[in-house]
Structure 1
């Protein structure tokens, strides 16, 4: 199996499939999930300060025996840590909890909390110092991105958002393509909502694949990074096994037609633009 990469606008390669660790409980569960994923061939692990499992993620990475440069690690700054000084300290705290020398991708988790432009300035400096290889945002709409970039020296490399066939984010994807911002899909499986979808099931039967594999393959072919989360070995391995088949144009059109602008989590369109 050859892991497919995308390339960010600063020429950093990012593996297109990663393990999401939201709700992986601190302690054995999070550690075991990351260790299992790395053994299975994942080379992209996504965590966040608010998940409470950075220590376990970092420990599993260090214990894996895989060279650090071969693993792409993402973490995120939480809403209470916005502002120049707080953002700098939050980054250092995450770095310490992970037990790593650098982070590959550091994201603003939400445009909540105020002072996101100050926060971005701190992140630009961390990037300039080489403490992080890429910087970006999460749960930002086109309006949030426009606001942030008016005073930014560096365009975000990534916007991580909820993304699946019921929430295909077409306007945001067109905007991000125009600005060379890579979209990452959190909750790509829609919290299991596709199990009963007859359209998706028919495509799965056609390809002799599981429903999650069909959805994740749709992500890959739409050019986004996908971050399925699981703590079960069977599903961790299955979610990675999507590189040896391809959805045809009819399949893609059928899945594209499922969009209903349906959110399983916070709708960022309801988050007001942060006026500093």
Structure 2
């Protein structure tokens, strides 16, 4: 087990990629703090799935774009499960809006949730790890749109590309403390966020034709990569951004 004895916080873990990562971590031996905006049937299902693997699971609802909620999430994790070793910044939102119609509020909502939250969660964890002299690993979740232009995402794409710079800069500053920071850019992954693409007979064939492996990916496949980056097997990997996209960018 790559992550035996580790404790991880996964944001946006109630569904999709976050759920896939949380369950992959449990499979590899980690206890998991499941964060989402609300505690509901989705987070309860993830909790049960993790506990069925013999691991501890804790649901802590909160908005990771708010400082007070971020601090509470980590305080609760430390108190209930123990010191956190791994953070996955997965929480994110996407809207599709033509550039000339994009409002201030839409820009702020997306960039706050997708970028500011990753900075705040990373900072909160790093302060605790450094104060206690502990090592750790952070995995930021970006998007294929850091490299691919898709219409209507003038606010979303910059928030995801900026995560590459955030990853590099944090890794440079905390590496001396034994904290590694990497980024995963998922491609077309079978999640509720892109279900409308997967169910469209007009759109899906066009997108899949651009992917070398010829199919959408699965959340568990992103989870497997995240588990590697979080593990000691990746002890010399930091500041990197990896596309898990079936060859979409390279085709």
TM-score tier after normalising by the smaller chain length: 0.3 to 0.5
TM-score, reference length from structure 1? 0.37
TM-score, reference length from structure 2? 0.40
